[in-house]
Structure 1
């Protein structure tokens, strides 16, 4: 984490232009690529069912190291033969079981602290390390799994010991007579249930149900683990665990209040998407790469979903989401029944989260958006347009299906094209009346343009072809005179294509090549 933090802050404080052979080799083979077969954001499937998302390679290596450390801490240094006093009354094997039970229980209690910290949206380690919420979410799951392994060893070892000493009936009687042990036993059982419910297919296909059960079971687990650990003399870990959880929710409430509670949002259904426009009571301008959580007051108000955002000229914020299932599908169906498929609803806004892309210092910036990913990429392009400097080349590529979806970012694209500082390329497939690729001149008349050109004056638009991502990134890197930043936001398949293309050419450019990914794969 310290090494990652040092690299993260050096990126932001210093201007890397040259490609160093060792750094490029290390990034090409360890930090940038997916673990296997180039697939990271896109889920692995079996018989058409998504069952897992594999972390990027450096995360996998960290998890392997974490597993090794857990095994070392579990077994290293335990010597049953050294406890001669205890060995006089119990066998050496029984003493070994007792030591294993004690050690595994302590390790499980210790792991509760990072388990709750890594699940927090307001995690101070994000600022220190530069890791995003998605990365900590991966580590949260694996810390939880190892915590439950230690808890299982703890419970099984003690159960075996008590059964040998007093028999099964006496052991069962002990559990129900000793409230401290009973709480620990139930905590272990519901913790195991929580781990089973957290497997990827359940999280992905039934995310809202999973989240409700996960939080509810976590509250019960916290109470029982607290009672068990405090009773046996380990209160500090429970104090820290609960303090972190309370702090996270307190900061969430502050963020909501700062944005203004019960905001009126104007929502419109555009094709299979929803466009949300809001104007918070207090203006808190988002930076490129940041996102916010939205709560619907009339639909499971306790749930929130992340949205990337564009800031409009009038200070309002625009959020766009595909109507898939859960909250987005409910909202789309509700708005579709309103007059003109639009109306006002009450929401809560919690933000902003995430860090700004450090892309202003790069001489060439390639922004690749897929579908609703234009919100994040348009925000980044507008920021670069506002802080433009001589010699910087900015390219915005947007791949979108359906002509009606071009209206999502009309004002922002129009603003970018008007200045001429950003090279805007749009690939709009699925239109009813496709035309050949054409560069629209901002000075031309409406009669000289197609029926769609009035929306995108100054942009290069193609209604037929999808860009070949590998060729696009390769050409950009090879033609760039110095350093290059590639930023991707969109579907998981697009993100994986971009990552593979950057990895292939990270050592081949004329300068330092960097990659930033804005894809939500938390579920």
Structure 2
């Protein structure tokens, strides 16, 4: 006996015993789709008849091959679908069955007749067994596809849960920070902090001078690679292809169809984490401790995986019809509206993938954002139409609901009082000071940022600004003049002494690092990164805890000191925070004035001054004695005498590596290193911390980085 007939015989014997209540119905429904039964209409889910008995009679003859329980369940389901008497829905199964048995024709005769059939089709036992095996394999594959999709979506949830529990354990079990264990130190040095390759992370990779991408951290890269590997494994895992269905479909076509179905289901289920990562994620940020850049990175890689699965879905469907050799059926299927919308959805997703490249976001962010939203809307609308006849369209509803809730919460936060707020905008050198006065004050923590809608410019687009300080229910931000909104804000402020603008405020967002728990704190800021760093310095000063805090700010022009002069003066009014301002343009100035020579590396050590870390060097080790503001007042007439003695000014570049090394070698049980500034500076600080970490355990050293400024 040929192999496939043996499998058919085995399947036929098992049908009555193992047929699920829905599988018998699905088998007969799928089988009857190939016939042109008079008065019936067909879609992807059901075939119903509303004007003749041919479908009802054919259906009863088909389900007769099922077990008694499954047969009655299938007939009851049919009666609920077809309720008119002409369809037989009010007749008993036995009446319709015996009537159909007398007047039925064979499947071969039915397939050779032209036009619609006027008699019931009687399916043979062998053909029913083959169709049953095919539907059983299809149902198994669909079930496995949903399991695999749930695992992929749950992967990100598991990763967030691990981060949350780690953060919870850190706060509960290490209220008093002590030495770090060997394993924890090794993970920190070789997995958490390092970039995937080299020392570059924040600074983008350049190709012919064009920024194309940034290199993720090692733990981020490993997380994304594992996610992609899981997706690829699931795409090619067991498809439950069965030879018992060979009378219906060959195994190669079956595999192509199952691959298409699986990749499509997995792509739809990936919508849930995709839109979760696309939101503001204020709650998840606080829970996991992840930065906004981390959520965006995972959003991008989830989107790339989704597009890959969508392309596999399209290729699989095409391969299935080409292998079947029925080109006319393929064209007819593709030209159906429901499938055309699927093509539109895949095209929109590919366009999103192209326009979301790093270079477009960096240089044309506002255009990128508008186009990104428009294409995303087109994608979801066309995908919804494409999935209209599939039950797993509900995964799309879940995803859109998550995103809609995030948007709704953001809108509620704006409408709850901040919609009536205003901001005073002052031009200050090449920066803009924004003093926000919301109608309803909110609780602010250091390191947080807010999104501002400047109604004069754009009512629907917001931009993030770090909050440097809060005073008298006013929130102070400083924005460096660049392209887009910051340039327009500065231009309006320059035109008049004070520019008052209506704003909508959404926030605050972002996580706060527990720097107050460490014995020593090193705050490093570059340029406009001072806005995030100064908020921590003010917080530590107001806490009044006797920590050893060194505050380092590297800025190009000394006029920029006026950005946060009052805050610098405030944090300098104590004996445990020592402030060092490095004016990097002073190198050229000093060289022109032939002052004492400086290190040509353009870097200095914090050891040049006696700091709270009590690091003493001989006078010969000083690079040069820096001038004071007494003879070099800035454009605002501010001199060094304006600041307390704990605020020191230097006129050269700080040697980041030596500052970090000296701070880490200081005798204290714990040290927090915080950095916010230009991307090159962030990479330099990170590399210095990694280089000086001891992976064998010992002193607890944690590195924190802020990407918003």
- Tell me the TM-score normalised to structure 1 length: 0.92
* Aligned counterpart, 2:683: 496
The SS at the match of 1:420 is coil
Kindly indicate whether the alpha-carbon contact (under 8 Å) linking 2:192 and 2:218 is maintained by their aligned counterparts in 1: yes
Report the Cα offset of residue 480 of structure 1.
3.5
1:430 lines up with 2:588 in the alignment: no
The SS at the match of 1:418 is coil
Give the 3 Å change call, closer, same or farther, for CA 123–405 of structure 1 in structure 2. closer
Output the CA distance in 1 between the equivalents of 2:386 and 2:250. 27
Kindly indicate whether the alpha-carbon contact (under 8 Å) linking 2:451 and 2:505 is maintained by their aligned counterparts in 1: yes
Report the Cα offset of residue 484 of structure 1.
0.4
Kindly indicate whether the alpha-carbon contact (under 8 Å) linking 1:280 and 1:316 is maintained by their aligned counterparts in 2: yes
Kindly indicate whether the alpha-carbon contact (under 8 Å) linking 1:114 and 1:143 is maintained by their aligned counterparts in 2: yes
1:179 lines up with 2:340 in the alignment: no
1:397 lines up with 2:397 in the alignment: no
Q: What are the residue-to-residue correspondences of 1:47-446 with 2, within 5 Å?
A: 47-80=208-241, 82=242, 84-85=244-245, 87-122=246-281, 124-165=283-324, 167-168=326-327, 170-176=329-335, 178-258=336-416, 260-336=418-494, 338-340=495-497, 342-390=498-546, 392-430=547-585
**How big is each residue's C-alpha offset from its partner over 1:396-447, in whole Å with a ceiling of 9 and x where there is no partner?**
111111122111111111111123331111112326976999999xxxxx99
Report the Cα offset of residue 140 of structure 1.
0.4
The SS at the match of 2:194 is coil
Q: What are the residue-to-residue correspondences of 1:408-487 with 2, within 5 Å?
A: 408-430=563-585, 451=633, 452-487=639-674
Q: How many pairs are equivalent? A: 510
Report the Cα offset of residue 258 of structure 1.
3.5
The range that moved more, 187-196 or 416-425, is: 416-425
The SS at the match of 2:419 is coil
Report the Cα offset of residue 299 of structure 1.
1.4
1:505 lines up with 2:692 in the alignment: yes
Report the Cα offset of residue 4 of structure 1.
2.2
The range that moved more, 271-280 or 259-268, is: 259-268
The range that moved more, 454-463 or 44-53, is: 454-463
* Aligned counterpart, 1:443: none
The range that moved more, 124-133 or 229-238, is: 124-133
Output the CA distance in 2 between the equivalents of 1:112 and 1:213. 19
Structure 2 unaligned runs (5+)?
A: 1-158, 597-607, 612-627, 634-638
Structure 1 unaligned runs (5+)?
A: 441-445
Kindly indicate whether the alpha-carbon contact (under 8 Å) linking 1:273 and 1:332 is maintained by their aligned counterparts in 2: yes
**How big is each residue's C-alpha offset from its partner over 1:464-484, in whole Å with a ceiling of 9 and x where there is no partner?**
211111100110010142100
Output the CA distance in 2 between the equivalents of 1:386 and 1:325. 35
Kindly indicate whether the alpha-carbon contact (under 8 Å) linking 2:630 and 2:641 is maintained by their aligned counterparts in 1: no
* Aligned counterpart, 2:131: none
Output the CA distance in 1 between the equivalents of 2:645 and 2:398. 56
Output the CA distance in 2 between the equivalents of 1:166 and 1:447. 85
**How big is each residue's C-alpha offset from its partner over 1:246-266, in whole Å with a ceiling of 9 and x where there is no partner?**
111111112222452142211
Output the CA distance in 2 between the equivalents of 1:473 and 1:464. 19
The range that moved more, 366-375 or 118-127, is: 118-127
Report the Cα offset of residue 230 of structure 1.
3.7
Report the Cα offset of residue 136 of structure 1.
1.2
The SS at the match of 2:413 is helix
Output the CA distance in 1 between the equivalents of 2:687 and 2:589. 34
Q: Looking at both structures, which has the greater relative contact order when contacts are Cα pairs under 8 Å and sequence separation is at least 6?
A: 1
Output the CA distance in 2 between the equivalents of 1:357 and 1:438. 28
Output the CA distance in 1 between the equivalents of 2:689 and 2:264. 45
Report the Cα offset of residue 312 of structure 1.
3.8
Report the Cα offset of residue 339 of structure 1.
2.7
Output the CA distance in 1 between the equivalents of 2:436 and 2:667. 39
The SS at the match of 2:270 is helix
Report the Cα offset of residue 77 of structure 1.
1.5
Output the CA distance in 2 between the equivalents of 1:510 and 1:117. 38
- Tell me the TM-score normalised to structure 2 length: 0.69
Report the Cα offset of residue 242 of structure 1.
1.1
Kindly indicate whether the alpha-carbon contact (under 8 Å) linking 1:378 and 1:412 is maintained by their aligned counterparts in 2: yes
Kindly indicate whether the alpha-carbon contact (under 8 Å) linking 2:629 and 2:641 is maintained by their aligned counterparts in 1: no
* Aligned counterpart, 2:20: none
Output the CA distance in 1 between the equivalents of 2:643 and 2:415. 38
Output the CA distance in 1 between the equivalents of 2:424 and 2:460. 21
Give the 3 Å change call, closer, same or farther, for CA 449–284 of structure 1 in structure 2. farther
Kindly indicate whether the alpha-carbon contact (under 8 Å) linking 1:230 and 1:238 is maintained by their aligned counterparts in 2: no
Larger radius of gyration: 2
Report the Cα offset of residue 162 of structure 1.
2.7
Output the CA distance in 1 between the equivalents of 2:165 and 2:441. 32
Report the Cα offset of residue 358 of structure 1.
1.3
Kindly indicate whether the alpha-carbon contact (under 8 Å) linking 2:630 and 2:640 is maintained by their aligned counterparts in 1: no
Kindly indicate whether the alpha-carbon contact (under 8 Å) linking 1:438 and 1:462 is maintained by their aligned counterparts in 2: no
The range that moved more, 265-274 or 254-263, is: 254-263
* Aligned counterpart, 2:205: 44
Kindly indicate whether the alpha-carbon contact (under 8 Å) linking 1:370 and 1:399 is maintained by their aligned counterparts in 2: yes
